[in-house]
Amino acid sequence: MTQTDTRVGPAAAGPAPGPARPFWTSRRRDQLTGYLFIAPQLLGSAVFVILPLVLVVWYSLHEWNVLAGTFDFVGTDNYAALADDPNLGAVLRATGLFSVGLVVLNLGLALLLAVLLNQRLRGTILFRTLFFSPVVVSLVAWTIVWGFLLQDNGGINGLLDTIGVDGPNWLRGEGTAMLSVIVVQVFKNVGLNMVLFLAALQGVPADLYEAAEVDGASRMRQFWRITVPLISPTILLTSIITVVGSLQVFAQIAVLTQGGPGTSTTVLVYYLYQQAFQFHHFGYGATLSILLFVIVLALTVLQWQMRKRWVFHES
C-alpha cells in the first residue's frame, strides 16, 4: 500500500503545488476499476429501470395525445379520474380473482408435486423434467397452443366428448374464461415452484421424520408438524414471487381472451395497456401503472411482515 494523504488541506488545493505526484495513484486506479465493473449494470438499471420509473411518475401528471403530439401538464387530474373510473372496480376484482386463484392453485399443486416427486421411486427424474419443461417454453407459443385446445371445437372438448361430457365454450363463458387463463398459467409455471419446493424438502433432516415415526406420528401429522414449518421460508419466497408475477399477467390475457368476455378477464396490466396503447390515454395509463406499483409494494411489505408469524427456521 502506498501512503497517499487523501486529507489534503485547503492550502494544498491552491495554485502552489507540492512535489509532483502521478495522477494515477493505486487508490484511484482501484476506484476506477470498481466503477468500471459496476458501470454496465448501473447503466442498464439507470436506462431501463430507474429512468422509466421516474418518467412514469412524470407522465402520470400529463395528458399525452400521441396522435396530435400534445403533452400538457394536468396536475392530479389523472389521479382524480382514477377514483371516478367506472371500470376500475371490475378490473381490480378480475385482478384479485386471478391472483388468488393462481397463488392457491400454483402453490398447492407445486407442493403436491414436490412431495410426490421427492420419493425415491423409479421414473421420478422423468416426471420432474416433464413438469419443469413448460417453464422453458416460450410463453406466447404456450398460450397460443392452449388457445386452440380451449376452442369450442378444440382438443379439450374433443377429449371430454369421448367420455360423453359436453364441454363448455371455455374462453367465452364469464367464469370458465378466468378459470382457463389461470389454469394455463399454473401449468406454465408450476414447475419452477415445484423445483424450489423440492430443494427445500431435500433440506429437511431425515432424522426428524425418524424421531416422529418412533413417537407414533402419522404421515399427515409429520407433514404439517415437520415439513411445512421447515420449508416455510421457501413457501414465503414462492408466494411472493407468485403474487408479484400474477399481478403482471399480460400475454396470456392478450392472446386468449383480450380481456373478455365482457370485462371478466380485464386485469390491471391489460387495462393499462388498453388505456395507453389502444385508447391513446398515455397519461392515464401511467397513472394506472403507479397504482399497480403501489399494490405490488403493499402486498410485498405485508407478506414480509407476516413472515414473523408463520415462517419458522429463518436463518
Binding mask 67-86 for other proteins (x = CB under 8 A): xxx-----------------
From 105, 171, 184, 253, residue interacting with other proteins (rule: CB under 8 A): 171
- Of 191 and 259, the one with the shorter C-beta distance to other proteins is 259
From 98, 101, 188, 259, residue interacting with other proteins (rule: CB under 8 A): 259
From 107-115, 165-173, 200-208, 217-225, give the range in contact with other proteins by CB under 8 A.
Answer: 165-173
From 6, 119, 138, 315, residue interacting with other proteins (rule: CB under 8 A): 6
Q: Single out the residue of 184, 199, 203 nearest to residue 257, CA to CA.
A: 184
Q: Which of residues 128-157 bind other proteins (CB under 8 A)?
A: 150-154
For 224-248, give one letter per residue: b (16+ CB within 10 A) or e.
eebbeebbbbbbbbbbeebbbbbbe
Contacts of 218 (CB under 8 A, 6+ apart): none
- Beta partners for 70? 65
Q: Decide if residue 28 touches other proteins (CB under 8 A).
A: yes
From 31, 76, 218, 300, residue interacting with other proteins (rule: CB under 8 A): 31
Q: Decide if residue 167 touches other proteins (CB under 8 A).
A: no
Contact 86, 172 (CB under 8 A): no
Q: Single out the residue of 99, 21, 86 nearest to residue 296, CA to CA.
A: 99
Q: Decide if residue 20 touches other proteins (CB under 8 A).
A: no
From 169, 222, 232, 303, residue interacting with other proteins (rule: CB under 8 A): 169
CB of 151 to other proteins, least distance (A): 5
Q: Single out the residue of 202, 188, 185, 187 nearest to residue 117, CA to CA.
A: 202
DSSP string, 186-245: HHHHHHHHHHHHHHHHHTS-HHHHHHHHHTT--HHHHIIIIIHHHHHHHHHHHHHHHHHH
- Beta partners for 63? 72
Binding mask 203-232 for other proteins (x = CB under 8 A): ------------------------------
Contact 270, 254 (CB under 8 A): yes
- Of 189 and 274, the one with the shorter C-beta distance to other proteins is 274
Q: What is the binding site for other proteins (CB under 8 A)?
A: 6, 8, 13, 27-28, 31-32, 35, 39, 42-43, 46-47, 51, 65-69, 150-154, 169-173, 258-263, 266, 274, 277-280, 282
